[in-house]
Amino acid sequence: QLSLRLKKVAEYLPSQANFADIGSDHAYLPSYVCLHDRYAKAVAGEVNHGPYQSALQEVAAHQLDDRIDVRLGDGLHVLKDNEVEQVVIAGMGGPLVRNILESGKDKLSSVSKIIVQPNIDARSIRRWFYENHYQLVHEAILEENGHIYEILVAEKGDPHQAYHQGNFEKQLWLGPWLMKERSPVFMKKWQVERSKKERILHQISCSKQPDEEKIQSFQKELVWLEEVLE
């Protein structure tokens, strides 16, 4: 049974998808997609031998070898030029996802849609999309087994479209679509973050040599959280 998190990621792929799943681990996502759509095909990329072997086994178990190509290698470098139309990168930290996109930029010319699920720091990927002419078209947030996950979907296009007038940095941090929707899971995530930030701010302020810059940055973010949570 595929996780809710990866099912939600799969929802953003079009039918007959031709995609890469980078950091595929067991290749659960491409297997699920190809089992449900006989015209879908995928490249499952893995940089580590263990997960690469697991992916090969999973794909063979479903007899999907003709539609899922499992490849060992770093990030988008496993792809040939113009090979896929969608890219999925899920279950890693935002900065790593961002680095994979940045260092594999030349492989993205045929890619019209990028779906990412960063475990932390979605902001760094929103910023990368913004700077690289990808328009953030959807955002989702969900909770599964006590973890809260964000999913970002971007398509080639005008990156300004997603952001409304007002505080750009705040929208990059919290997510322009998520902020608009203010779902219960979103509110929960940021209530927890606010408590954490208040605690850390208190600790920094009470230290012998308080870091003024850090204090100001925390205070600024706490104001943004007050605004969104009120």
Q: Which of 197, 202, 204 is nearest to 226 (CA)?
A: 197
The single residue among 12, 25, 86, 150 that binds ligand SAM, judged by CB under 6 A, is 25
Q: Is residue 150 part of the contact set for ligand SAM (CB under 6 A)?
A: no
Task: Tell me how many degrees the CA angle 31-34-39 measures, rounded to the nearest 5.
Answer: 160
Q: Is residue 176 part of the contact set for ligand SAM (CB under 6 A)?
A: no
Q: Is residue 45 part of the contact set for ligand SAM (CB under 6 A)?
A: yes
- Nearest approach in angstroms of CB 205 to ligand SAM is 36
E strand intervals along the chain: 18-22, 41-46, 68-72, 86-92, 113-118, 134-144, 147-156
Q: Which of 43, 27, 122, 26 is nearest to 81 (CA)?
A: 43
Angle, helices 212-229/184-206, rounded to nearest 10 degrees: 150
- Nearest approach in angstroms of CB 76 to ligand SAM is 8
Q: Is residue 51 part of the contact set for ligand SAM (CB under 6 A)?
A: yes
Pick between residue 6 and residue 33 the one whose CB is nearest to ligand SAM: 6
Pick between residue 88 and residue 201 the one whose CB is nearest to ligand SAM: 88
Distance CA 136, CA 162 (A): 6
Q: Is residue 159 part of the contact set for ligand SAM (CB under 6 A)?
A: no
Task: Tell me how many degrees the CA angle 98-12-116 measures, rounded to the nearest 5.
Answer: 15
Distance CA 160, CA 157 (A): 9
How many other β-carbons are positioned within 10 Å of the β-carbon of residue 34? 21
Q: Is residue 92 part of the contact set for ligand SAM (CB under 6 A)?
A: yes
The single residue among 46, 58, 150, 221 that binds ligand SAM, judged by CB under 6 A, is 46
The single residue among 30, 91, 94, 159 that binds ligand SAM, judged by CB under 6 A, is 91
Within 97-126, which residues bind ligand SAM (CB under 6 A)? 100
The single residue among 10, 90, 201, 225 that binds ligand SAM, judged by CB under 6 A, is 90
Residues that bind ligand SAM (CB under 6 A): 6, 22-25, 45-48, 51, 74-75, 90-92, 100
